[in-house]
Structure 1
Amino acid sequence: MGVRFNREYRDIVRDLGAALGQIDNCYSAFEMEQSDWDGLDREEQIEFLQTLADDIFYGLGSEPHIAIGEGKVQYDPTNHLIRVWTDSQIVHLIKLI
């Protein structure tokens, strides 16, 4: 099926990457330890998170829920949103249109 969107893709990936960075243990998606993640500078972390956001975006086209670290990501096709839950249940909404 695929995720339907009308916003600039790079803006969606930027917003999704920023939201993913709020999830505890998000680096586990890269099979990293916390010490490895902490050893990266902020720019490198952002690059990793945007790569993860890109992968998740396409994954949501076939799986409506994806677990990441201590959180999860959900595609809501009815409302054209991607929801990101952190371990503390804070929801980030990524608008797709």
Structure 2
Amino acid sequence: MCRNIRTLFNFDPPATDDEVRDAALQFVRKLSGTTHPSKKNQDVFDRAVDAVAASARQLLDSLETTQHPRDREEVAARARAKSAQRFPKIVFEDS
């Protein structure tokens, strides 16, 4: 689950609150071991996601760097190319 969490710092445009919340949700899912908490645990789960999202937003807003912001499209294109190399399409020929 956590492998879906992406780096959110130093991008142009900056990470949105939705992206931060999605990362927080993945983190809480990993910690709790569930993707859908029971009704009894839903409130605690949601509060944990809110707390992690708030902490993550505070972290991202406080970090400083001298590097130029990375371009989201460029990073995504490199990831797609790497994925295509790792998982090439399998072509089956009729015999």
Please report the TM-score for the alignment, with normalisation by the length of structure 1. Answer: 0.33
- Normalising by structure 2, we get a TM-score of 0.33
Of Structure 1 and Structure 2, the greater strand share is in 1
